[in-house]
Amino acid sequence: STWIVLDVLIEKSPDAMDEEWDLAMDDTARQFAQNPPTEAYLGIPFYPGWVYAPEISAGMSMDNDYHYYVFFSNDAPAKVAEFYQQRLNQKPSTGGGFYIFALKGNLPIPDEGLVIQLNTGFKDMPQTIITVQKMID
């Protein structure tokens, strides 16, 4: 005897998946904008004059493991890194234009961290990106 088995796979169209992603992104961006992080939550002092970027933070935080809080500064990365080196009383891991501080766990890949780098990807934004990686509770 012969059996024929048909499997049916139903998927959303690429347009529907894009629309779903856009709606989720808009909702996440709204949440990030309405609930900016505090110094106590981040576990670090705010850098003077930095500007919070909730939309970029939301875009980087769409997975379920980590949230990334993104800030920009007009100061050079080295100056920002020096500020945090003094405030956190630790030397960063450096290389490739990055400064990485462990906020929880150990370098080179901490559980939570602070990354300072030159802005090479966001047009019309200040020269330095400051990103805080936090595990979701």
Regarding pTM above 0.75, the answer is yes
Category of 64 on φ-ψ map: left (φ > 0), alpha (ψ -120 to 50) or beta: alpha
26-31 contacts at long range (C-beta below 8 A, 24 or more positions apart): 28/58, 28/61, 28/62, 29/54, 29/55, 29/58, 29/59, 31/58
Structure tokens at 27: 């909702």
| One-letter amino acid for residue 55 of the chain | E
The residue among 27 and 21 whose pLDDT is bigger is 27
Q: How many Cβ atoms sit within 10 Å of the Cβ of residue 92? A: 20
The predicted-structure confidence for 39-91, as pLDDT tens digits, reads as follows: 999 999 999 999 999 999 999 998 778 999 999 999 999 999 999 999 999 99
State yes or no: pLDDT of 111 exceeds 90.
Answer: yes
